[in-house]
Chain A
């Protein structure tokens, strides 16, 4: 995963909550356009890692850079290049889809109309633009949230279980969008519990008890555990 001009280059990132370590010694080096799946059991440290990379949490230990900026001192300029899709629905339910998108566009790309039009087209949102988010189904709401997270065409996209609770069609759409963004140069980290989906990622990092191992290709990870599939390998790792 070494690249000459890394988007993420961190070493030994650790984070504790009240003395209890949540993430220990994460190291990662990712270049432009790479897609990495973060897999592993609940509480393994995937979300904490994403939040540190997003600049929402300060690491208690470690060093490195995200998009060239010190990971321990996240800057506003850096936030403009990062898209972060949280597990929970992070849209204002009282606002319409158009109003939610307009807010993100104003903050992230100076109200760029073209950017708003592009996400409406790319994610086929025209039919729900005037609907309030509270009126949308779960699938549509996640679609809007994804669109809002990438409205500024981020260089780094951090997705925390973006497909949880979605139907098969919307999941397929979402992976299509992820592939499209990666092809455009965005580096993408996707946390997921769906291991069939994780197999779509060229590389995966396995999290367990706050420690990460990898990256591996899904096939390599499965072979390493002597399992036939990624899912079987993860279950075998969890039982160790």
Chain B
């Protein structure tokens, strides 16, 4: 080992690192993105769980409403509804927790049936609602302890969609989207940069092919692969992990080609600006890292601050996760699942437009 040789190699390596844009992305951009997202956006615990309340009369829910308003981690949805209204609100996806207060037995109403307060929880994402359940329960027993005459009707917690609170049921449908997103964005970004570095891109440019023809031709095979990949993940989820397929699986699978094509087009647009394959891959990482953090995959969407939710909604993955969890756990019908196609359609058109506007030219 010669120290002089090592220094010579190190000096060259230093110069290459300093003069490479890739270093800038690796050392500055990606860490900055992570620091900003983890610092400002990621809150593992729900900061604002939506709660709907229903009671025979608004007055009978006064204490509950007051307690919920005092706790910043709950957000009351609408006014106090008639009995059954809270459950309907949860089932429609407008609230994560519903509180159905029964007619309570009291001195003035001694004949009221002795039924418990029902807490209906959308348990699609148990990491989001478990803490909320516990807080509501604790609050209830504390109130009860302070008001010995309130009558111990008790609480009955009903977890919808995922009664056992299985995290794998939450993650696996979403994972179908994540795997397709990562694979397709990589494939899209490499499709052109690999050709450019390999020397075939210039030749391709000299052929009588329109930019749109090249874009669509390059995206089509990947779209088929992405669809297959997503379908396999869903099948594994159902076969190995018993993920329930209660809704329209056909509609969900029908979303896969659009979802895959969207990320291929985004990858293609990234590659249009990337000089090398490595730079293209970094662009892909810079896209899918925030997508994973802000889409509800790693952390529940509802725990994100409003501004982060707005950004998160721009990622097609957020919509795919909602569609996937709807089609599997919640039992959403085809029309409901396919409602999530619109944001993806807009995204694929925008990405294709960007890819064509910034289309990579031969070097």
Show the binding face of A for B, using Cβ within 8 Å: 51, 54-56, 76-80, 82, 84, 86, 88-93, 104, 107-108
Interface check B27, CB cutoff 8 A: no
B207 adjacent to A108 (CB under 8 Å): yes
A89 to B200, CA, bound (A): 7
Q: Which residues of A contact B209 (CB under 8 A)?
A: 76, 79, 107
B206 adjacent to A92 (CB under 8 Å): no
B208 adjacent to A56 (CB under 8 Å): no
Q: Which residues of A contact B362 (CB under 8 A)?
A: 51, 56
**Which one of A79, A88, A89, A91 contacts B207 once the chains associate, using CB atoms below 8 Å?**
A79
11 contacts between A and B (CB under 8 A): A56-B202, A56-B361, A76-B209, A79-B207, A79-B208, A86-B199, A86-B203, A86-B206, A88-B199, A88-B202, A107-B209
B198 adjacent to A108 (CB under 8 Å): no
Interface check B205, CB cutoff 8 A: yes
A56 to B362, CA, bound (A): 7
A78 to B206, CA, bound (A): 10
Interface check B221, CB cutoff 8 A: no
Smallest distance from the beta carbon of A145 to chain B beta carbons, Å? 8
Smallest distance from the beta carbon of B19 to chain A beta carbons, Å? 17
B208 adjacent to A93 (CB under 8 Å): no
A84 adjacent to B208 (CB under 8 Å): no
A82 adjacent to B206 (CB under 8 Å): yes
Q: Which residues of B contact A89 (CB under 8 A)?
A: 199
Q: Which residues of A contact B207 (CB under 8 A)?
A: 79, 104, 107-108
Interface check B210, CB cutoff 8 A: yes
**Which one of A80, A86, A90, A91 contacts B208 once the chains associate, using CB atoms below 8 Å?**
A80
Q: A79-B206, A93-B198 are in contact. List 16 more A-B contacts (CB 8 A).
A: A54-B206, A55-B206, A56-B202, A76-B208, A78-B208, A79-B207, A84-B203, A86-B202, A88-B199, A88-B202, A90-B199, A90-B200, A90-B204, A92-B200, A104-B207, A107-B207
Q: Which residues of B contact A79 (CB under 8 A)?
A: 206-209
B198 adjacent to A84 (CB under 8 Å): no
- Known interface pairs A51-B362, A56-B362; A107-B208 also in contact (CB < 8 Å): yes
Q: Which residues of B contact A51 (CB under 8 A)?
A: 202, 362
Interface residue tally of chain B, by bracket?
Answer: 10 to 19
Smallest distance from the beta carbon of B322 to chain A beta carbons, Å? 38
Q: Which residues of B contact A108 (CB under 8 A)?
A: 207-208
Smallest distance from the beta carbon of A17 to chain B beta carbons, Å? 11
A80 to B207, CA, bound (A): 7
Contact mask B175-211 → A, CB, 8 Å, 1/0? 0000000000000000000000011101111111110
- Known interface pairs A51-B362, A56-B362; A84-B206 also in contact (CB < 8 Å): yes
A107 to B198, CA, bound (A): 20
A89 to B362, CA, bound (A): 14
A76 to B361, CA, bound (A): 16
A90 to B209, CA, bound (A): 16
**Which one of B199, B206, B208, B361 contacts A77 once the chains associate, using CB atoms below 8 Å?**
B208
Q: Which residues of A contact B203 (CB under 8 A)?
A: 84, 86, 90
Q: Which residues of B contact A55 (CB under 8 A)?
A: 206
Q: Which residues of B contact A56 (CB under 8 A)?
A: 202, 205-206, 361-362
Q: Which residues of B contact A82 (CB under 8 A)?
A: 206
Q: Which residues of A contact B198 (CB under 8 A)?
A: 88, 93
Q: Which residues of B contact A84 (CB under 8 A)?
A: 203, 206
A151 to B89, CA, bound (A): 67
Contact mask B320-363 → A, CB, 8 Å, 1/0? 00000000000000000000000000000000000000000110
B200 adjacent to A91 (CB under 8 Å): yes
Q: Which residues of A contact B361 (CB under 8 A)?
A: 56
B210 adjacent to A76 (CB under 8 Å): yes
Q: Which residues of B contact A54 (CB under 8 A)?
A: 206
Smallest distance from the beta carbon of A66 to chain B beta carbons, Å? 12
Closest chain A residue to B205 by CB distance? A56
Closest chain B residue to A158 by CB distance? B206
Closest chain A residue to B198 by CB distance? A93
Contact mask B25-53 → A, CB, 8 Å, 1/0? 00000000000000000000000000000
Smallest distance from the beta carbon of A63 to chain B beta carbons, Å? 21
A90 to B362, CA, bound (A): 12
Q: Which residues of B contact A93 (CB under 8 A)?
A: 198
Closest chain B residue to A104 by CB distance? B207
Q: In the A-B complex, list the 6 residue pairs whose CB atoms are closest, starting with the nearest.
A: A88-B199, A90-B203, A79-B208, A84-B206, A76-B208, A80-B208
Closest chain B residue to A78 by CB distance? B208
Q: Which residues of A contact B204 (CB under 8 A)?
A: 90
